[in-house]
C-alpha cells in the first residue's frame, strides 16, 4: 500500500542532503522538524509543499507522517521501506546515512534546494528540544494543538489556513494538490 503523496526517491535525496551537512548523522526529531519547517515555508511562498508528505500532530509537535514511518521502520509499503533501509538506519534517536556520499538531487528544483538549505542553516545550531518549543508557539504556528498521548492528522487545509489563506484559496489549492497527486500516482504506476 503506497501512502499518498510520498515521493520516496525525493525524500531519500532530501534526507541524504541534510544528513551530509551533519557528518551523515542527525537526531531524527530535529530532521523531521526541519523538513516540516521547510515544507511550511514552501507553502507560504508558493502554496505547494516540497515533500508532498502528509502531516500529523504529536505531543512533540507537527511531523511528516510518511518520513516518521520510514524512520520507525513502519512504512505501509514493504518494498519502499526496504529501499529506505538501504540508505538509512536508526541508532537510538539518530538517523544515520549508510552511504557517506551525496546523492543526485534530480527530484529537487533549485528553489526547493534553496528553502531546504536556508532552513537547515537557520536552525543548524538548534537542538531538537528548541525546535519542538518553537513549533509549540501558537502565535507563530497556529495549526499546532497538543494531541496528548496520541496523534492527530494535520490537514494541509489547516496549515494553509494558519498561513492566512482564504477558504476560496484553500479550496482551489486542495483541488490542484489532488490533481497533482493523481498525476504522480499514474506516473508511478506506469514506471512499475
> What residues contact 4, with CB distance under 8 A and at least 6 apart?
54, 181
- Render each residue's pLDDT in the chain as its tens digit; 192 residues: 334 568 899 999 999 999 999 999 999 999 999 999 999 999 999 999 999 999 999 999 999 999 999 999 999 999 999 999 999 999 999 999 999 988 889 999 999 999 999 999 999 999 999 999 999 999 999 999 999 999 999 999 999 999 999 999 999 999 988 887 777 777 767 766
Integer Cα distance of 174 and 182 in angstroms: 12
* Nearest Cα residue to 32 out of 5, 70, 2, 3: 70
Q: Under 8 Å CB-to-CB from 68, ≥6 apart: which residues?
A: 32, 56
C-alpha cell at 8: 520516496
pTM for the model stands at 0.91
Q: Residues, the chain, total?
A: 192
Give residue 5's pLDDT: 60
Residue 161, number of CB atoms within 10 A of its CB: 16
Q: How many CA atoms lie within 13 A of 23 on its CB side?
A: 1
Amino acid at each position: 500500500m503506497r501512502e499518498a503523496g510520498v515521493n520516496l526517491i525525493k525524500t531519500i535525496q532530501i534526507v541524504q542532503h541534510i544528513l551530509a551537512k551533519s557528518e551523515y548523522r542527525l537526531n531524527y526529531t530535529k530532521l523531521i522538524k526541519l523538513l516540516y519547517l521547510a515544507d511550511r515555508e514552501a507553502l507560504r511562498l508558493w502554496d505547494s509543499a516540497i515533500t508532498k508528505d502528509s502531516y500529523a500532530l504529536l505531543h512533540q509537535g507537527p511531523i511528516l507522517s510518511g518520513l516518521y514511518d520510514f524512520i520507525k521502520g513502519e512504512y505501509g509499503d514493504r518494498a519502499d521501506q526496504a529501499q529506505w533501509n538501504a540508505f538509512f538506519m536508526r541508532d537510538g534517536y539518530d538517523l544515520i546515512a549508510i552511504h557517506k556520499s551525496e546523492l543526485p538531487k534530480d527530484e529537487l528544483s533549485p528553489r526547493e534546494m534553496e528553502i531546504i538549505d536556508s532552513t537547515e542553516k537557520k536552525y543548524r545550531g538548534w537542538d531538537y528540544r528548541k525546535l519542538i518549543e518553537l513549533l509549540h508557539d501558537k502565535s507563530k504556528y497556529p495549526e499546532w494543538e497538543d494531541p496528548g498521548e496520541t496523534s492527530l492528522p494535520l490537514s494541509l487545509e489547516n496549515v494553509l489556513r494558519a498561513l492566512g489563506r482564504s477558504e476560496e484559496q484553500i479550496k482551489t489549492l486542495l483541488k490542484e494538490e489532488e490533481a497533482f497527486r493523481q498525476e504522480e500516482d499514474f506516473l508511478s504506476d506506469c514506471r512499475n
